[in-house]
Amino acid sequence: MIINSNLPALNALNNLKKNNKKSRENIEQLSSGKRINSAADDAAGLAVSEKMKSQMKGLGQAQKNIQDGISLLQNC
């Protein structure tokens, strides 16, 4: 029994798979307009980004609360 393998073809297939994966990642980043789309892209960067989003939401709510307080005082 003879087992033939075409190593150049297998190498080309592996390179094609790697290039397709990288292309999909690049297209995802381009289409979303974001550098980080998932934790796999940059776990530490995603954590920092999520913390900043939470802080911004908190500051936005604080601003609304201040405006409500000012309105309440003006009506008294």
Average pLDDT of span 61-67: 95
Where do the domains of the chain lie? 1-33, 42-75
Split at pLDDT 50, 70, 90, the class of 31 is confident
Split at pLDDT 50, 70, 90, the class of 57 is very high
Write the DSSP symbol of residue 12.
H
Type of residue numbered 16 = L
Residue 67 has pLDDT above 80, yes or no: yes
pLDDT on residue 1: 62
Q: Please tell me the distance from the alpha carbon of residue 12 to that of residue 33, in angstroms, as a whole number.
A: 31
Q: Which alpha helices (DSSP H) does 1-76 contain, by range? A: 7-32, 43-75
